[in-house]
Amino acid sequence: MLWYDPTYLIMIPAIIFALIADSMVKSNFSKYSKETSTKGVTGADAARAILDENGLYNVGIEAISGELTDHYDPTANVIRLSQSVYGSTSIAAIGVAAHEAGHAVQHSQEYAPIKARMAVIPVSKIGSSLSMPLVLLGLFFSFKPLITAGIFAFVAVVLLQLITLPVEFNASSRALKALDNQGILYPEELGKAKKVLSAAAMTYVAALLSSLLTLLRLILLSRRRR
């Protein structure tokens, strides 16, 4: 049966790495959420300052519920910050808010990787929902073309994760540079904010690793079940 297939063992490194990355994010965010920035700027204020510096006066900033649910919504042209970030003056909150502002700047400047990511997202959603059903049907009916179609559908998921990496790393780079240039954080505080953003970036590396190993597993399954 597929559910007990030994190829599941391939996913163990990805699971371990994902757990470590998640632990790093929560640990660093928790640690630096307790350290207030010297200037006492809130996450929302930091994001607003970066947006205004780039002429993005039309981009809104809203508070939302949850923890680490922060994101930039290009369709609504708004940055949504979690309650632990929006009104917080901690180093962690400022770093996260600045990162989301970095995404808004990417969109405004038509940063190539983010444009590519937006183009791939719809295809990736289709690939994510169809890939496994196609592979399962192909295995059940011993019909190789269905398996192959499922594998190619999943390639879109891998591609999305691959494109996401430069988008996230660049947003963090923009954030740290802006926080430094505008004097929102002092050098020692910047180092701490960088630790928060670097830990968050590792979750995207973990997602890519998981996608790559899943693709490898599907390929191995197709060869075993010919």
Computed on alpha carbons and rounded to an integer, the radius of gyration of the chain in Å comes to 20
Residue 1: helix, strand or coil by DSSP? coil
Q: 100 an active-site residue?
A: yes
Q: How many Å apart are CA 157 and CA 129, to the nearest integer? A: 10
From the candidates 62, 67, 100, 110, give the one annotated as an active-site residue: 100
| Structure tokens given for 127 | 């690939």
Contacts by residues 118-125 (CB-CB < 8 Å, ≥ 24 positions apart): 118/74, 120/156, 120/159, 120/160, 120/163, 121/160, 123/156, 124/156, 124/157, 124/159, 124/160
**DSSP per residue, 174-220:** HHHHHHHHTTSS-HHHHHHHHHHHHHHHHHHHHHHHHHHHHHHHHHH
Q: Which residue is it, tokens 């879109």?
A: 156
As beta bridge partners, residue 61 has 79
Please give the positions annotated as active site.
Answer: 100
